[in-house]
Each structure stands twice: as structure tokens, then as C-alpha cells.
């Protein structure tokens, strides 16, 4: 267990922001996490620490004056199975996409639509990640999380986690109180193909797929995402920077009268979810660049660092986008990315 001082976080965040942590360490076991949390009291303020996973949902706007703990809890194992399902547990520090590929290789269905989403397993329930008609809540069984206060592991069921749109209890009531250590998923032995969302059907046709499989769906999703989202290894980004906002049906109709091309989808409670990317694009931001901070030219939802942009420059751009969407449409966007 090694605690380092004044460490650059550039390679630990997908935006590639060169912020520095006053202290930095990694944990590969729950025991190491326990020891580090005890040790931090003699180094930094009790509240001055944060856990970093894949760094794909974070924007550093300044140096971090505390202790960054890098979650490197690994391991994938089958817990149990029944007639229809296999329960697979993954360490929170496992790469998400690699876990998806593991499931596909083992003919375990349910998360193939979530291929190529950046980040680690631990963030999947915290964010209730979703794409192409599938969310984590559809396959979630339970998770284990370390209580910072009690210094013990707790198990959280699906109901306990209160998973919503890019939301969970760990972003609200239990924010900064628990560290997710592992997640167990309920995966299907027999696939239930979900190809109705987005361009999956068109991509499968382009691929000339004759027999549908979880592998072909995964590859279709990979192709689609690769065509419109920048590779963080080449252009710094955190994927979708903003959430898709939800409005009442009556307000949507008012907007539709004024903006006939507006994009919206029904949600379960009768409200309408708007396409934030469309709103941003209509305000003229798609492809915008100021210095090395920009709005990606193939997907307006994605803010990018073309090289040496600071976190402040990207944050200020997001503020300008929020303001312009509010002024034009009367809709308040919310950031999906965590700001530090």
C-alpha cells in the first residue's frame, strides 16, 4: 500500500485534464481500502478524499486537495444459476466493456446493448448506465458496498438502490457514504433480443447479419458508437455530458408547435423525454470549438478536449450551452458528468 504525493490525474480521467491530486493511492482488496481510509485521517481532512474508477464520468476543474483512491478491485465469477439465469459477480474495478465481452463469450445475455460504454463496473449501478433500450436495472441483482462510517460491507438489492434515469441512491441519500466493491448481475441463458432502439436494425442489415445473436448486436452497437462518439484515447471526452431532460406532455406540445422537428420519446409516467443533443445542435453548438475545448462535430451531447483544454474551459463551455438551451427552449439541461 503506497501513498504518493502531487500526482497528475491526466491518465486517470478520460477528458485528459492535467489536474493534480495532493495524495494518491490504489486499493486492490477491501482490506487495503479499509487500511487506506484509516490512514487518511493522519494525512488529510476526514472529508477530503474521493474514489476514482474509470475516470470516464468526471471533469476536474482544479487540483484535488486531498486523497484520491483508485478502485482496482478485480475478479469475475459465477455465483449461482437457475433454469433461466446465471448470476455473475464482478469487482467494481473491472472495465465495463471487457465485462460485457466476457458475458458475450460465455453466452450470457442481457448487457450486449451496453457495449463500449466507458468506465468501470462500479459505476454501472451508481449511474444506472443505459443505451439502446437497456438499463442496468434490467439485469441488476445486488451489489456490495463498503460503509465509510461503519467500516463494513453492506448488500444492496435492486429496490435498495432506487435506480432511475442515470440515477441511484448513491448519488443522493448515500452520496459519499459508501464505496461500491462488487456488482452481481442476473444474466439470461436464453437471449431476449432488443433491436428496436436507435439504428441497431439498420446496422445489422449493413453488417448482413442473417442469424441474430448477442455477439452481432454487441458488434452493431460498437459500430454505431464508434461512428459518432470520439475515442477518449484520441480525443479527450466523457461521453454524453448532459442528460436527456424530461418535460410534461403539454409543454412538449407547446414546444412542438414552435419547433416541429423537436425530438421526444414517451416515458412511463406520461411525460416526454427530449433529445438533449438535438436541443444543443439547434442552438448552433455542434462542432463549436474555442481553443482546445469543443462540442463534438458528430454528436452535440459530447464535449471534448482536443489537447490542452483546462477543466474550467470545458465547464465554461457547458455553462454557455446550458444558458442557450434555456433561452431558446425554456428547458433546463442537467450535466451527467461529475464536476470536481
pLDDT in tens, 238-249: 999 999 999 999
Pick the closest to residue 100 from 173, 207, 187, 201 (CA basis): 187
C-alpha cell at 229: 462518439
Where does the pLDDT of residue 160 fall: very low under 50, low under 70, confident under 90, or very high at 90 and above? very high
Active site residue 22: no
Question: Strands, DSSP E only, in 125-256?
Answer: 130-131, 134-135, 140-147, 153-157, 178-188, 236-240, 246-247
| DSSP H stretches of helix in the chain | 30-40, 96-105, 123-127, 158-161, 200-206, 214-228, 249-258, 276-282, 311-329
At 18-65, the pLDDT tens digits run 999 999 999 999 999 999 988 776 665 545 889 999 999 999 999 999
What is the Cα–Cα distance from 174 to 180, expressed in whole angstroms? 11
Query: Grid coordinates representing 270?
Result: 406520461
Q: What mean pLDDT do residues 196-202 have? A: 84
Question: In the chain, where are the structural domains located?
Answer: 4-71, 76-228, 236-339
**Better pLDDT: 108 or 48:** 108
**Confidence band (pLDDT; 50, 70, 90) for 3?**
confident
Q: What distance in Å separates the CA atoms of residue 156 and residue 154, rounded to the nearest whole number? A: 7
CATH 3.30.43.10 fits 4-71, yes or no: yes
Does 336 participate in catalysis according to the annotation? yes
Kindly give, in sequence order, each residue whose CB lies less than 8 Å from that of residue 44, ignoring residues fewer than 6 positions away: 22, 23, 66, 67
Q: Angle CA(139)–CA(123)–CA(116) in degrees, nearest 5?
A: 75
- Among 166, 186, 225, 335, the active-site one is 166
Cα 226 from Cα 116, distance rounded (Å): 8
The residues near 58 (Cβ < 8 Å, ≥ 6 apart) are 13, 15, 52, 238, 337, 338, 339, 340
What is the CATH number assigned to the segment(s) 236-339?
3.90.78.10
Q: How confident is the model at residue 80 (pLDDT cuts 50, 70, 90)?
A: very high
Within 8 A by CB and 6+ apart from 30, the residues are: 73, 146, 153, 181
Angle at 118 between CA 206 and CA 229, to 5 degrees: 45
C-alpha–C-alpha distance, residues 59 and 11, integer Å: 13
Contact 262, 278 (CB under 8 A): yes
pLDDT digits (tens, 9 = 90+) for 266-320: 887 889 999 999 999 999 999 999 999 999 999 999 999 999 999 999 999 999 9
CATH topology of domain 76-228: 3.30.465
Average pLDDT of the segment spanning 253-263: 95
Mean pLDDT of all residues in 329-333: 97
The Cα–Cα gap between 15 and 57 comes to 9
Q: What is the pLDDT of residue 323?
A: 98
Q: Which residue in 32, 81, 281, 336 is the catalytic one?
A: 336
Verify whether residue 40 is a known catalytic residue. no
Catalytic residue among 135, 240, 318, 335: 240
Cell reading at 166: 442515470
Q: Which of 13, 1, 83, 5 is nearest to 314 (CA)?
A: 13
Amino acid at each position: 500500500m503506497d501513498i504518493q504525493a502531487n500526482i497528475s490525474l491526466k491518465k486517470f480521467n478520460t477528458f485528459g485534464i492535467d489536474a493534480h491530486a495532493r495524495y494518491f493511492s490504489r486499493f486492490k482488496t477491501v482490506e487495503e481500502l479499509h487500511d487506506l481510509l484509516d490512514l487518511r485521517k493522519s494525512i488529510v481532512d476526514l472529508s477530503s478524499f474521493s474514489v476514482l474508477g474509470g475516470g470516464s464520468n468526471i471533469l476536474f476543474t482544479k487540483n484535488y486537495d486531498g486523497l484520491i483512491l483508485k478502485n482496482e478491485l478485480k475478479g469475475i465469477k459465477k455465483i449461482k444459476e437457475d433454469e433461466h439465469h446465471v448470476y455473475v459477480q464482478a469487482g467494481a474495478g473491472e472495465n465495463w466493456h471487457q465485462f460485457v465481452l466476457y458475458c458475450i463469450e460465455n453466452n450470457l445475455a442481457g448487457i450486449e446493448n451496453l457495449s463500449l460504454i466507458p468506465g468501470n463496473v462500479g459505476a454501472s449501478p451508481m449511474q444506472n448506465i443505459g443505451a439502446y433500450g437497456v438499463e442496468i436495472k434490467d439485469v441488476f441483482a445486488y451489489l456490495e458496498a463498503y460503509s465509510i462510517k461503519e467500516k463494513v460491507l453492506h448488500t444492496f438489492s435492486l429496490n435498495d438502490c432506487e435506480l432511475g434515469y442515470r440515477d441511484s441512491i448513491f448519488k443522493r441519500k448515500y452520496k459519499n457514504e459508501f464505496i461500491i466493491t462488487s456488482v452481481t448481475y442476473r444474466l439470461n441463458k436464453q437471449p431476449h433480443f432488443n433491436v428496436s432502439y436507435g439504428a441497431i436494425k439498420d446496422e445489422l442489415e449493413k453488417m448482413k447479419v442473417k442469424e441474430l445473436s448477442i455477439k452481432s448486436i454487441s458488434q452493431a452497437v460498437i459500430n454505431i458508437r464508434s461512428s459518432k462518439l470520439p475515442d477518449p484515447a484520441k480525443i479527450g471526452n466523457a461521453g454524453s455530458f448532459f442528460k436527456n431532460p424530461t418535460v410534461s406532455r403539454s409543454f412538449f406540445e407547446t414546444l412542438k408547435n414552435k419547433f416541429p422537428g423537436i425530438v421526444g420519446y414517451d416515458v412511463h409516467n406520461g411525460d416526454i423525454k427530449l433529445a438533449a443533443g438535438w436541443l444543443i445542435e439547434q442552438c448552433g453548438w455542434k462542432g463549436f470549438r474555442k481553443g482546445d475545448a469543443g462540442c463534438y462535430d458528430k454528436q452535440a451531447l459530447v464535449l471534448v478536449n482536443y489537447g490542452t483544454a483546462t477543466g474550467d474551459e470545458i465547464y465554461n463551455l457547458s455553462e454557455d450551452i446550458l444558458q442557450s438551451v434555456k433561452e431558446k427552449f425554456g428547458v433546463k439541461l442537467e450535466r451527467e458528468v461529475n464536476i470536481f
